[in-house]
Amino acid sequence: MKRRTLHNSSYISSISQRLALGIIYLFIGSGCMLGPDYVPPPVTIEDSWVYQNDKRLDILEAVNPFWWQSAFSDPVLDELVAQAIENNLELRSAALRALQAQQLLAIAIGDQYPQIQQIEGLVDRSKYVRSGITGNLQSEYYLNFNLTWELDMWGQLRRLVNSAAADFEASMAEYDGLLISIIAQVAQTYINIRTVKRRIEVARENIRIQREGLRIAEVKFQAGEVSALDAEQAQTLLSNTEATVPGLEIILQQLKNTLAILLGMPPHSLNDILSVSPTVPHVPAITAIGMPQDLLRQRPDIRQAERLLAAQGELIGVARAELYPNFSIGGLIGAIDIRGGQLNGSSDAWDIFLEFDWNIFNYGRLRNNVRLQDATFQQLVSDYQQVVLQAQVDVENAIVAYLKSQEQQVFYETAAQASRESVDLSFTQYIGGEIEFNTVITTLVSNLNQQDILVVAQGAVATSLVQVYLSLGGGWQINDGLMPLELLPEETIEDMLRRTHYWDKLLD
């Protein structure tokens, strides 16, 4: 236990003072840091992308942090992304987790410095009466405080600071990763909404064509040229096509609801924002993707994994420090002032001490803890290397999906154009009696499918491009350099200030 007895300064010789101060300086100056020092582990990065020679890709230019603006040039999408960054609740929660990590770092830094353990004070005024005789009025004032300082002999406290700093950086990387994920989800959901709107329009265009087919079949039936079977077949096809519209409207509303969650607002609030034309966004002719080596600094999940690894690496040194004695210095400083009565005057007193504790009988447990921290570190090495490997696979998958979906779109455009022409030809030949109505039905069904497939393919190209940017880790740079409190909306900060004013200094 720490000594708390006060000694009058007159009893402390100058020799004792010099000896105590010499011991203090000796221990402060001789501190070291037990290792190992963290070094990022090697990872395998490919030299080039598989499809980097494709003329639609630019490997020399870095990814634009505002890629959704340059790729789609859509003011509505820009507004949706801005609202998501401001109001998304998952993103706000991640910023608050980063803020918590920042405060844990501040606490770890503060633990390196002297701590005032206790402040004691007394104010007393008294008068005694004995056998009818009143004594003098006596006043007593007493104040002292107890200060201790844990000496960082083996670098344990510095390691804890380094670990907390790495944890804080990992939490910021987690926020960045969620940020680009939210932006990508908003972009993909918005593209899907426009795609479904276009599919509804295509369905209605086919309904119009099929109604014309039904009208022609009814006219020929009334003229006695065909049986009622043709009209019944035309009605069946028309009704089935009409039934697809409510199904698509269900998907459309569900996509709107998903987008509302991403924007942190009720679904009905999107009605005015999403009154856009039913067209699928076009993609740029050339897309900048950079080189594979850029992933190490671009992908937030890679940075997060590496920072978690660094934080764990510092804990090995912390565990090793527990094998050695822990030193602390401390002291008491006090003052007593008594007026009246038998004792008059004041007295100053202080006490200084050096103490240590050593868990020498727990070496088995402490060594096991060192092994535990090292095994955890090695596991995180594998996790980090896996994240880097997976990141490269994600990009390759996204690139091939983007490029090949464009090639698919070209074939579907040819098929859709041929399908539209076959409908016109079948109507002409049916009216002329050259073909049966079954052939018309076949062309109508094929046209509906081909036009819908083309729209889906167009949407797939746009969403695949978003996936490319997501896999490359683009977008988090828009908030680079901001602290966690700066990432929170004003109303959240005001709520926190109403609970406690201690956030004021961070806001200065």
The 10s digit of each residue's pLDDT in 143-167 is 777 778 888 889 999 999 999 999 9
What pLDDT is recorded for position 1? 36
pLDDT band at 61 (very low <50, low <70, confident <90, very high): very high
CA–CA distance, 374 with 67 (Å, rounded to integer): 41
What pLDDT is recorded for position 340? 59
What pLDDT is recorded for position 215? 96
Question: Does residue 397 register a pLDDT over 50?
Answer: yes
Question: Does residue 19 register a pLDDT over 90?
Answer: no
The 10s digit of each residue's pLDDT in 91-130 is 999 999 999 999 999 999 998 888 766 677 766 666 665 5
Other beta carbons within 10 Å of 57: 20
Domains and CATH numbers, the chain: 31-112+152-322+359-507 (1.20.1600.10)
What pLDDT is recorded for position 254? 94
In DSSP notation, 342-378 reads S--EEEEEEEEEEEEE--GGGHHHHHHHHHHHHHHHH
- Helices 363-431 and 300-321: angle between axes, nearest 10 degrees: 170
Question: Does residue 472 register a pLDDT over 70?
Answer: yes
Indicate the helix (H) or strand (E) that contains 8. Answer: strand 7-8
CA–CA distance, 180 with 94 (Å, rounded to integer): 13
The 10s digit of each residue's pLDDT in 172-208 is 999 999 999 999 999 999 999 999 999 999 999 999 9
The 10s digit of each residue's pLDDT in 314-353 is 999 999 999 999 888 887 777 666 665 555 556 666 778 7
- Across 296-319, average pLDDT: 96
What pLDDT is recorded for position 40? 94
pLDDT band at 299 (very low <50, low <70, confident <90, very high): very high
- Across 457-477, average pLDDT: 96
CA–CA distance, 505 with 507 (Å, rounded to integer): 5
- Of 19-23, 56-60, 275-279, which gets the smallest average pLDDT? 19-23
What pLDDT is recorded for position 192? 96
CA–CA distance, 173 with 304 (Å, rounded to integer): 5
Question: Does residue 12 register a pLDDT over 50?
Answer: no
Return the DSSP state at 149: E
What pLDDT is recorded for position 81? 96
What pLDDT is recorded for position 278? 86
Q: What is the rounded end-to-end Cα distance, in angstroms, of the chain? A: 41
- Across 245-256, average pLDDT: 95
In DSSP notation, 201-257 reads HHHHHHHHHHHHHHHHHHHHHHTTSS-HHHHHHHHHHHHHHHHHHHHHHHHHHHHHH
Contacts of residues 212-220 at CB distance under 8 Å and 24 or more positions apart, as own/partner, are 212/427, 213/237, 213/238, 213/427, 213/440, 213/444, 214/238, 216/427, 216/430, 216/431, 217/437, 220/430, 220/431
